[in-house]
Amino acid sequence: MTHDEMSAWLAEGPRVLDGATGSELLRRGVSAAGRLWGVGALLEDPDAVRRLHREYAEAGAEALTAATFRVAPYSLRRAGLEDRTQELASLAVRLAREGAREAGRDILVFASQTTLEDCYRPDLVPGDDTLRHEHAATAAALAASGADALLLETFNTIREARIAVEAAAATGLPTIASFTCISGGRILSGEDAGEAAGAVFLPGVMAAGANCTAVGDVLAALGAMAAATPLPLVVYANNAWYEEDSAFLAADPVTPDQYGFCALGWITVGARLIGGCCGTGPEHIAALASQVLHRRS
């Protein structure tokens, strides 16, 4: 997909992204999904991954996110799987496309790229030289997988996000950048969300925004970002899926219909690509699609 095509696609929005992969597979009893947050499912139960993609396509998603969240040489190296990086990246994209075809849909597939270390630990971000080398290697593998665009998600510092975005954009694929945010319009590191969005306003970046952010914290983050960048905004919130290391995501879960109505508020501040993160499933995307498509008509 070219940058012009992606720009035109977003301009026709708001567009519907899919929902969670890792948390939804775990909810369905696919325990392997907990291994490298989805890599285990690619290895042990690819049919479950394909089915989930199909269900998101059937629910109305206009773009699917391949299960490449931890398909990075840096992550796979620790599991003794580095030599399978390209194989797993290509498999993840293929499963998404197969799921879409099974649903009778021809829709976009984004390859997910994230932080090198724990998404919830900005204190663990490696040095710049490591970031440049590793994100370049990851972006190259994902670009070779056949994805339509690169979705850089769940970043927790401006420093790593900018380096990763530069590497992704250098592949020539359209790039989307998204941060994990907390209360008060800040990203997880405590840096201002608007400053974060401004830092990734680079050639080749088509949208910026927030993901794995509590539903109640989304509007403040998007408002700060909208004031700092002319880019379309992307948002896909966390629906009360958290553990001890992510207590900032603790909340009461919202129903699919409530999630869809929340999206209307996000649209008013500039969201043009909207989906769901951890704790959401196909039913949330169906409700979201109903609201978004109505808004577009």
Per-residue pLDDT at 293: 77
**Do 128 and 135 form a contact (C-beta atoms < 8 A)?**
no
- As a whole-number percent, the residues of the chain with pLDDT over 90 amount to 96
pLDDT at 79: 95
152 vs 168: CA distance, rounded Å: 8
Mean pLDDT for 186-197 is 98
Coil vs helix vs strand at 208: strand
Q: How confident is the model at residue 292 (pLDDT cuts 50, 70, 90)?
A: confident
Handedness of CA 264, 178, 104, 95 (dihedral sign): negative
pLDDT band with cut points at 50, 70 and 90 for residue 39: very high
Question: How far is Cα 104 from Cα 116, in angstroms, rounded to an integer?
Answer: 35
The model's confidence at residue 248, banded by pLDDT at 50, 70 and 90, is very high
- For residue 102, what pLDDT band results from cuts at 50, 70 and 90? very high
Question: Cα–Cα distance between 11 and 37 in angstroms, integer?
Answer: 32
Q: How confident is the model at residue 223 (pLDDT cuts 50, 70, 90)?
A: very high
- Residue 296 scores a pLDDT above 80: no
Superfamily designation of domain 3-296: Homocysteine-binding-like domain (3.20.20.330)
pLDDT at residue 294 above 90? no
Which of 90, 26, 21 is CA-nearest to residue 53? 21
Nearest to 71 by CA among 46, 44, 93, 48: 93
Amino acid 244: pLDDT:
86
pLDDT at 295 over 80: no
Confidence of residue 122 (pLDDT cuts 50, 70, 90): very high
Rounded to two decimals, the pTM is 0.97
Residue type, 116: L
Q: Calculate the average pLDDT of the chain.
A: 96
